[in-house]
Amino acid sequence: MLSKGEPIKISDIAETISPFIVMDVLEKAKELERKGERIIHLEIGEPDFDTPEPIKKAAAEALEKGLTHYTHSQGLLELREEISHYYHKTYSVQVDPDRIIVTSGTSPAMLLVLSAVINPGDEVLITDPYYSCYPNFIKYVGGKPVTIKVFEEKGFRLSVKEVKRHMTPKTRALIINSPSNPTGVIMPPEDLEALAELPVAIVSDEIYHGLTYGEKARSMLEFSSKAIVINGFSKLFAMTGWRLGYAIVPPELVRPIRSMQQNLFICATSFVQKAGIAALKYCDEHVEKMRQEYDRRRKFTLEKIKETGLKVASSPTGAFYILANAKEYSMDSYNLAFDILQKVGVAVTPGIDFGPNAEGYLRISYANSIENIAEGMERLKRYFQGA
């Protein structure tokens, strides 16, 4: 029994959730900005573009009409139909709108999906480097993350042979992320086809689809109707703060996920769902302009980074990240990133945020203007030349 004045005991799960290091960097950068320093932000994975006008207009009209009430727990049917149409138009796959669950961002979608397929003690395979939050999602639902190392000299490509080698009777799922955060790598279709043959649930995080340069990202649904897809509007449509995502799941998972959604989240925000409909219907040209600008920044950053002393053996072809090798300077990417921030005012993300196999790397985001990237590269050049 809790005595008066005794602190509340923190749960085991809360104790084991590790911090999202990029947010530590961002918060320190903001602290320095409040002191008057000019910081170049190359750490955060957030589009610097404003949300396209048709999206904002649709949300405003929905508010004006009073569309502020609960929706179906799976989301507005019109939005689910538009998502279905988008996947048919983009990947030539048929997706029944009843298999789509609209969520308040992709993170709740991932949480709901893993909750539906993972029992305590089950293993979930992920690459290393990985998106920082994957292990915490897995642990939160009682699962065990099992990492498969991917290497720069092999283009950070996931080996299907290695996936098979890491599988055990406890393996329940494999999470793939293509284009990848933090590497920007796109999985080739032959690998997706081979993965589809494995006796394990494939959870495909497709949040960076559409942000590709020179090659197309293929949806896992093109290779398996049993695949589970996570996607959303944050990256492609510059809607990070709107919090709108979705999961496409096999029929047998719809009811259990819907029940969890009803209990945990009820539904995604109604007027934001209306904005999502507008994004899919009216924003192809806006998206293409942003994609072209990202590509221009990507090429510029890859060229300028050579002058800093950092190494990039594997050029990214998707998302808006470069995982740069800084092992020549330090194998402590956390302290290196904060030293760079303190000394030259450039915020970058330490590789250790993305797993032990990313130690010695720095993730650089080119979701910033050419002018800011140019200044950031000059500052990094100054830092490493003096290091």
pTM of the model: 0.95
Residue 76's Cβ-count burial label (10 Å; 0-12, 13-18, 19+) is buried
CB 192 within 8 Å of CB 223: yes
What is the predicted pLDDT for the residue at 314? Answer: 83
Residues 6+ away with beta carbon under 8 Å from 270 = 62, 67, 68, 69, 70, 71, 76
pLDDT at residue 136 is higher than 60:
yes
User: Is pLDDT at 387 greater than 70 in this prediction?
Assistant: no
Strands, E, within 237-360: which ranges?
Answer: 245-248, 321-325, 346-347, 349-350
pLDDT of residue 18: 87
* Residues 14-54 pLDDT 10s: 988 888 899 999 999 999 999 999 999 999 989 999 999 99
Spatial separation of the C-alpha atoms in residues 62 and 369, rounded to whole Å: 32
Q: What is the DSSP letter of 368?
A: S
As a whole number of angstroms, the distance between CA 237 and CA 137 comes to 25
The pLDDT of residue 321 is 98
Q: What is the pLDDT of residue 2?
A: 61
What is d(CA 316, CA 322) in angstroms, rounded to the nearest whole number?
6
Is the pLDDT confidence value at 149 over 90?
A: yes
Tens of pLDDT, residues 212-223: 999 899 999 999
Q: What's the CA gap between 173 and 247, in Å, rounded?
A: 15
Question: What pLDDT is attached to residue 6?
Answer: 85
* pLDDT at residue 1 is higher than 70: no
**CA distance linking residue 246 with residue 102, whole number of Å:** 4
Tokens read off for 256: 């259990």
Distance, in Å, from the CA atom of 379 to the CA atom of 98, rounded to the nearest integer, reads 51
Give the pLDDT of residue 386: 76
Whose tokens are 């642990």? That residue is: 139
349-350 and 361-365 strand pairing: antiparallel
Domains in the chain (CATH in brackets) are: 12-50+285-386 (3.90.1150.10), 53-282 (3.40.640.10)
Q: Per the structure block, which two tokens stand in for 235?
A: 């990256």
d(CA 307, CA 328): 14
- Asked if the model's pLDDT at residue 243 lies above 70, the reply is yes
The Cα 54–Cα 92 span in angstroms is 26
Two structure tokens written together for 66: 């009073």
Average pLDDT, rounded, for the chain? 96
- Tens of pLDDT, residue by residue over 369-384, are 999 999 999 999 999 9
- Looking at residue 329, its pLDDT comes to 96
d(CA 194, CA 219): 14
Give 264-302 pLDDT, tens digit per residue.
Answer: 999 999 999 999 999 999 999 999 999 999 999 999 999
Distance between CA atoms of residues 243 and 240, nearest Å: 6
**pLDDT at residue 182 tops 80:** yes
CA 96, 101, 104, 109 dihedral sign is: negative
Rounded distance between C-alpha atoms, residue 244 and residue 105, angstroms:
4
